[in-house]
Amino acid sequence: MPPLRLTIPLAAVAVAAVAAGAWFLTRTTTLRPASYAYEPTSALYTPIDTRTKDAAPLTTAEIFKDPAIGGLQRGATEELTDCDEALSGVEATGCTQALRGTYTSPQVTGEFVIFNLADARAADALVAAMRTSGFVRQATPFDATRSRAQARALGHFVTVTWVGATQQGGNTPDLIPPLVALDSLGHTLQSRVISAT
């Protein structure tokens, strides 16, 4: 039997190793929605299919105008100049900014993220890559196992709407209405199409 003085340090090392392993695994795990749908860009967005045609940067005031939408209260909004801060397991090549807003209600929590990419080809590639390679990072906690997401390439932009049950367990709320409501934030880009036409 090993002496007590040796057993205690070994036990401490074992506990530290397990904790470090758990941190590493959770740090690198990409949370994904239970359901994901995506759309490539369409001809409607041809006037803004490159950043060259639509050079003005996005602003949080432009995208997140209202304090509430579809029964969800807007929480934090932010602009990220490093788009990788909003992504996990996938890269947005040529992305210059990502705008993100969080929304909550007692039943549903979610986020809306918009990426400013170089062109429509990069936008199409990102929405397709998120099908299997990675996803946006959760900016506010909700149950990813009971969640839905929609991504759209809109010219040189990508919008990602992700909503899920606020609480773990229990009945899953109807996620379609809040998903549609948050997804409508992307309609703001139509004013850019009109300006570029």
Along the 197 residues of the chain, how does pLDDT read in single tens digits?
Answer: 555 555 544 443 343 343 333 334 434 578 999 999 999 999 999 999 999 999 999 999 999 999 999 999 999 999 999 999 999 999 999 999 999 999 999 999 999 999 999 999 999 999 999 999 899 999 999 999 999 999 999 999 999 999 999 988 888 899 999 999 999 999 999 999 999 99
Rg of the chain over all Cα atoms, to the nearest angstrom: 20
Report yes or no: 176 and 148 within 8 Å, Cβ to Cβ. Answer: yes
Name the residue type at position 27: R
Q: With helix as H, strand as E and coil as C, how does 22-87 read?
A: HHHHHHHCCCCCCEEEEECCCHHHHHHCECCCCCCCCCHHHHCCCCEECCEEEEEEEEECCHHHHE
CA pair distance 92, 100, nearest whole angstrom: 15
